[in-house]
Chains A and B, each alone.
Chain A
Amino acid sequence: MRLAVASGKGGTGKSMVAANLAFTLSQAEQVTLIDCDVEEPDLHLFFPAPSTTTEVTVPVPVVDETACQHCGLCEEFCQYGAMTVLSSRVLFFPELCHSCGGCTLVCPNGAIHEDPKRIGTTTISTPLPNLKLISGMLDTGNPLAVPIIRTAKKLAASDPLVICDTAPGTSCPVVETLDGCDACILVTESTPFGMHDLQLAVDVAARLGVPAGIVINRSDGKDQATLEFCTDHDIEMMMTIPFDREIAAIQSRGDLLCRARPEWQKAFAALFVKCSTLAGMDR
């Protein structure tokens, strides 16, 4: 089963929910936790352990100046402005390149081939006997997160139970992470910002055909609007975590609620049962 934890709004507690869920489930079975927030991954901070890191590369064009006729077709074709053809040289701007391979195809002189260029890394560790953690990290300054998320997910392709911690927002990195998941937990907070962004996140999940359920985090008891939203949209409210300075402190210092307060494991186990039902994979 592939489960995503997303939100729309940043800072609602996706990582906290994903990490605690993975921790709880790994007490009984093999779990893979993937940090797909590759711009700002932080799950590794909660599960320190020795790890192996592999580079993630994307193909980028290299021009053979002896074969190049400086015709300019590659510059004309590139939708991103990554190639500039001068009378005697071709200049390439890697941060604009989307690695589409177009320039290599349009060159009439076979003067362009591709070489791999590093854009980030994936790191794998086993912080607990049954827990595999895969973290994707985009090199700072690189704009494109999607190839790293794709690579990280591929590393878990044959794992039985996978939980993906998603980036905030609703654009490409989130779509890439949610795509192919059996269910999605949307973590929200009962504030106007949370509500506003929840609607957007629900929309993305729906467009991708991924069934979604909601977890309210840092609840101060005033959840009426969120609950109404759930009823109106026929979405299950699966769990409420109260606002509690102690819970916040546990998280802030890099510990896990289920580790520091094991009685919380029951609640996360129950959350997982609901997710399985949502995914149509009752256990």
Chain B
Amino acid sequence: MKVCFTAKGATPDSPSEERFGRAPYFIILESETGSFEAIQNPYADGAGGVGPKAAQILIAHDVKALISGQVGGNAREVLAAAGIAMYTYRAGGSVKDASDQFTKNTLVRSE
């Protein structure tokens, strides 16, 4: 299953990014194999309407869950409609740290 983390850099060691729509990178981990893909967010600099566009990237990559700190209302609506589960991570650690917490089921699922 593909799980997406918002990140400040392009590897799982990078610090996680709290915001979704303007996150510099999306790190997509394949939970079965442990492999990852880093996508640079083309909307990171956008002025408005970025949330839904960022959500479309996740949909295009067949992501099933998003782990992030702050997901705006519009993005949330798109993710929910696409059936992508959202989890909250705000501890400020690395993507790997967030991923460990997700695997251990210690993250709170957000509505």
> Are chains A and B touching directly in their complex (CB below 8 angstroms)?
yes
Of B50, B52, B55, B56, chain A has the most CB atoms within 10 Å of the CB of B52
The answer to whether A96 and B59 have CB atoms under 8 Å apart is no
The answer to whether A91 and B59 have CB atoms under 8 Å apart is no
B-side interface mostly: helix
A-side interface mostly: loop
The verdict on A93 contacting B82 (CB below 8 Å), with A81-B48, A81-B50, A84-B55 known, is no
The verdict on A80 contacting B52 (CB below 8 Å), with A86-B59, A86-B81, A93-B74 known, is no
What are the 10 tightest A-B residue pairs by CB atom distance, in nearest-first order?
Answer: A81-B49, A84-B52, A96-B49, A93-B74, A84-B78, A89-B81, A91-B78, A86-B82, A86-B81, A91-B77
State how many angstroms separate the Cβ of B48 from the closest Cβ of chain A: 6
Interchain CB contact (< 8 A) of A80 among B49, B59, B81, B82: B49
Asked whether any CB of chain B lies closer than 8 Å to the CB of A82, the reply is yes
Proximity string of chain B (53-75) to chain A, C-beta cutoff 8 Å, 1 when within and 0 when not = 10110010000000000000010
Proximity string of chain A (54-94) to chain B, C-beta cutoff 8 Å, 1 when within and 0 when not = 00000000000000000000000000111010100101010
State how many angstroms separate the Cβ of A102 from the closest Cβ of chain B: 14
How many residues does chain A have at the interface if contact means C-beta atoms less than 8 Å apart? 9
The answer to whether B82 and A96 have CB atoms under 8 Å apart is no
Chain A residues with CB under 8 Å of B78's CB are: 84, 86, 91
The answer to whether B81 and A81 have CB atoms under 8 Å apart is no
Chain B residues with CB under 8 Å of A82's CB are: 49
Chain A residues with CB under 8 Å of B77's CB are: 91, 93
Chain A residues with CB under 8 Å of B56's CB are: 84
Q: A86-B82, A96-B74 are in contact. List 15 more A-B contacts (CB 8 A).
A: A80-B48, A80-B49, A81-B48, A81-B50, A82-B49, A84-B53, A84-B56, A86-B59, A86-B78, A86-B81, A91-B52, A91-B77, A91-B81, A93-B74, A96-B49
Chain B residues with CB under 8 Å of A93's CB are: 49, 52, 74, 77
Q: How far is A233 from B74 in the complex, measured between Cα atoms in Å?
A: 48
Q: How far is A89 from B56 in the complex, measured between Cα atoms in Å?
A: 13
Q: How far is A93 from B50 in the complex, measured between Cα atoms in Å?
A: 12
The verdict on A96 contacting B81 (CB below 8 Å), with A81-B53, A84-B55, A84-B56 known, is no
Using CB atoms, name the residue of chain B closest to A89: B81
Chain B residues with CB under 8 Å of A89's CB are: 81
Using CB atoms, name the residue of chain B closest to A81: B49
State how many angstroms separate the Cβ of B63 from the closest Cβ of chain A: 13
- 22 A–B contacts, CB within 8 A, in A order: A80-B49, A81-B52, A81-B53, A82-B49, A84-B52, A84-B53, A84-B55, A84-B56, A84-B78, A86-B59, A86-B81, A86-B82, A89-B81, A91-B52, A91-B77, A91-B78, A91-B81, A93-B49, A93-B52, A93-B74, A93-B77, A96-B74
Using CB atoms, name the residue of chain B closest to A83: B52
Chain A residues with CB under 8 Å of B74's CB are: 93, 96
Chain A residues with CB under 8 Å of B81's CB are: 86, 89, 91
Chain B residues with CB under 8 Å of A86's CB are: 59, 78, 81-82
Proximity string of chain B (30-66) to chain A, C-beta cutoff 8 Å, 1 when within and 0 when not = 0000000000000000001110110110010000000
